[in-house]
Structure 1
Amino acid sequence: MHVVMFADQHLESLGGAQVSMRLQKRFLERAGHVVTVVAPRPHRESAGDAAYLDLPSIAITPDREYALTWPGVRTDRFLDAEMGARLRVDVVHVQADFWGAFIGHRYAARHGLPVVHTMHNRVDVGIEATAPFPRLVLRALNAWAGRVLPGGAAARAGVRGRAVDSGTSPRGAREGTGSSRGPADGWAFLRQLARLSRAVTAPSSHFARRLEAHGVAEVVDVIWNGIDDDVLDAALSAEASERRPGRPRFIWLGRMSPEKRLLPFLEAVIASGIEAEVEIVGGGAQLRAARRLVERSSPAASIIFAGRLPYTETLRRLADADAVVQTSIGFETQGMTVFEAASLGTPAVVSDPDIAAELGSGVWAVADATVPALAEALRSAAADIVAGTPAVPDPSIAERFRQSSRTAAMVDVYARAVAAGR
């Protein structure tokens, strides 16, 4: 099977969705499938891969980490020319929310291909956290989708490409929802994408149920993002050892942007007064502000900014930590880091109640969204770690989170989507 994945950002850029897609790609290839990944061309040095099809793009962040490709006829022509030299495509897997989604759905419509769409993003929460006028942005986003997606205003005006008929919609998706009906919110936007898909998947039960409740699709398949089998086997086969002596070790990792709540986390570390080792892994726009906050506050904890790390090294540090700290609320559609940590036996301090519920055990839950509540959870976790009674993750997560099992589940969805069009 030849699977063409579409992403908003290049797979070598920073982000949980990119990490997940890199693993998906590798394990699909390991299972004998062919994968092409279509994404904006990066503006920073990155690893090359023959499976990457890089689209002309412009950098959209000061650090040149992220880029945008404008969806339209020029991009369509470039993509079709490049894809013409590759194998016949069986299924399109859209794992994007914005320009990547538009480009992917337009490509599938032009060539009569089935689409599986993985919803990675709480669009409404993300935009509210990052945009100064979120309602206006959501209105504009819905209008943009209505103009450029197949079957929208652009298609009705005669733009190249065919509209997708109702036979390609997911089971129970609500046709005709979008910018023209109902509120122009994040859910309306996601409904516009879902109506063009034969199957919709989500990386967690809580997000899948939320998508269903808002009419994005009647049935959303839950397929977790996974962890590398080889890395997990190596970690699980290592000889058991006593905890490395020293103060409690906490790790926070991710993109340093407002919705991830790095600054409130650092404020909580400072307010908690815990004597601990705190490692911050990742990069992003708030790095400078985070460093300044630590420098002027003299916390009791030692706080180290480790920068971006390779995947295997990140997992090694997760395994070595006493707890990982998850601080975003309402934004994460899975919270991949805490599942990786749980697979390695590392518990988590969790701010998002949906993620805490999905993990089950191995959690110090934060009572609310305030800095004092997070500080109290950190104090509790540190005390339990020092006492030798930390929270213990569910051991079954390690097996359920393997990428090989997640890939097999997704291949079943692909096969269903392909069969539905015959």
Structure 2
Amino acid sequence: MHPTGLRVLIGADTFPPDINGAAFFAERLARGLAGRGHDVHVACPSDTGPARTEERDGYTIHRLRSHAIPFHRGYRFCTPGAARTAAGAVLDRIRPDVVHVQAHFGVGRALLATAARRGIPGMATNHFMPDNLLGYTPFPRWLKDAIARWAWRDLARVYRDARIVTTPTPRAAEVLAGIGLDRPAQVVSCGMDLAHYATPERPADRPMSVLFVGRLDEEKNVDQLLRALAPLPHVRADLVGDGTRRRELEDLAAGLGIGDRVTFHGFVPDGELVHRYAEAGVFCMPGTAELQSLATMEAMAAGLPVVAADALALPHLVHHGENGYLFEPGAITTISRWIADLAADPDARARMGEASRAIVARHDIDDALAAFETRYRTLLGVPAPAVLDHAA
């Protein structure tokens, strides 16, 4: 460990092999901080059930005993009592300088509360949007809305134990202010490895394809993209990801008569994902519950113009007419129009793709890691790197 490194405990209620933006960010944060010389630990629900500890990429993962979520078997959770017990044990064993949680659920709330009682500074980064969870439930809309209101109030209560709260975008900070968070949330981008997704210039005569990357779930609104493609016989679509709506979307594509122009790739390895970005002509994000949208940032780093819903944080990334186009959620005719315009104008695609690269440049992962390091040291009252005593 670097002599100026901090001992950081990241609390994550979702972590790989889970596939979602919050899990990917927590993994990138852990790996990035470890690469910068910090002693990094992650506490998260076990992906198999029993507790275990493992080493990966220079950091330690403490997987806590967990149970399957009844309405979403792909994810697991820690019960409140078990989370509190495990949080105390992990804090005793690790003795972190800082606790940084990624959610207000079982692991996050237990770590924040226990750390606060012991005088260990804690901070929280919010990735939560109710639609990203409630879309998996069979509840009627009125009940989902009631649960969402309760969940926001619960988040505000839990985050009182965090001395600093961050969120990825200004719009996400506005959301937290609107639900009654007791202090302004600080905006820190999740960041990404821009160079990893950089691609060479695309040939202008390449067949036109629209790419979507993400979960095939309700709040992503992928059905709108498929309906928008129906009147565009010269355009095909590549959908990367899986989810609860995949079969329904496959049936929709067949019913629209575009099944031969739509490829469902499922989840793909990282190398193939980079290839998909390189092969695409346009990226489309119709989701309406994006606090930042890592997939959109990846597409921009790959030099793609973006057609996106004018919702939540997407307008922070997509500047209408500059690096793509925005549409009112559900405006299928408008989606078709923007895709058709881009399909017909390779020069516009190239120009907007370069604008995407320029806009996303401010979200480099190294800048994000430095911003979090600054906040850790602020919590500790250490304005510059300093040697900390980690004697057992």
> 1:78-108: CA deviations, max 9, x gaps?
343355443x201111101422332222332
Identical-pair percentage = 24
Contact 1:363-1:391 within 8 A present in 2 as well? yes
Secondary structure of residue in 1 paired with 2:330: coil
Secondary structure of residue in 1 paired with 2:292: coil
Aligned length: 367
1:289 alignment partner AA: E
Residue number in structure 2 paired with 1:56 = 65
Residue number in structure 2 paired with 1:350 = 308
Choose which of 336, 359, 371 in structure 1 pairs with 2:294. Answer: 336
Matched, 1:201 2:159: no
CA distance in 2, matches of 1:352, 1:189: 28
Residue number in structure 2 paired with 1:250 = 210
TM-score, normalised on structure 1?
A: 0.78
CA distance in 2, matches of 1:94, 1:388: 39
CA RMSD of aligned residues (A): 2.9
Residue number in structure 1 paired with 2:19 = 14
Greater per-residue strand proportion: 2
CA distance in 2, matches of 1:263, 1:118: 31
Choose which of 323, 348, 359 in structure 2 pairs with 1:397. Answer: 359
Choose which of 207, 228, 241 in structure 2 pairs with 1:268. Answer: 228
> 1:227-258: CA deviations, max 9, x gaps?
125525xx36xxx4442643212111111211
2:190 alignment partner AA: N
Question: 1:177-192 counterparts in 2 under 5 A?
Answer: 184-192=149-157
Residue number in structure 2 paired with 1:77 = 85
Alpha-carbon shift at residue 262 of structure 1 (Å):
2.0
Choose which of 114, 127, 152 in structure 2 pairs with 1:120. Answer: 127
Question: 1:127-206 counterparts in 2 under 5 A?
Answer: 129-131=135-137, 132-133=139-140, 136=143, 184-206=149-171
Question: Unpaired segments of 5 or more residues in structure 1?
Answer: 142-183
Choose which of 281, 288, 293 in structure 1 pairs with 2:240. Answer: 281
CA separation of 1:273/1:398 partners in 2, compared to 1, >3 Å: closer, same or farther? closer
Secondary structure of residue in 2 paired with 1:65: strand
Residue number in structure 2 paired with 1:407 = 369
Residue number in structure 1 paired with 2:116 = 109
Residue number in structure 1 paired with 2:258 = 299
> 1:323-355: CA deviations, max 9, x gaps?
1110112x1111221122212211111013444
2:220 alignment partner AA: K
CA distance in 2, matches of 1:190, 1:85: 27
Contact 1:55-1:79 within 8 A present in 2 as well? no
TM-score, normalised on structure 2?
A: 0.83
Question: Unpaired segments of 5 or more residues in structure 2?
Answer: 1-5, 383-392
CA distance in 2, matches of 1:357, 1:140: 27
Secondary structure of residue in 1 paired with 2:180: coil
CA separation of 1:241/1:332 partners in 2, compared to 1, >3 Å: closer, same or farther? closer
Secondary structure of residue in 2 paired with 1:66: strand
CA separation of 1:68/1:113 partners in 2, compared to 1, >3 Å: closer, same or farther? same
> 1:156-183: CA deviations, max 9, x gaps?
xxxxxxxxxxxxxxxxxxxxxxxxxxxx
2:374 alignment partner AA: D
CA distance in 1, matches of 2:86, 2:346: 55
CA separation of 1:344/1:419 partners in 2, compared to 1, >3 Å: closer, same or farther? same
1:49 alignment partner AA: E
Contact 1:127-1:134 within 8 A present in 2 as well? no
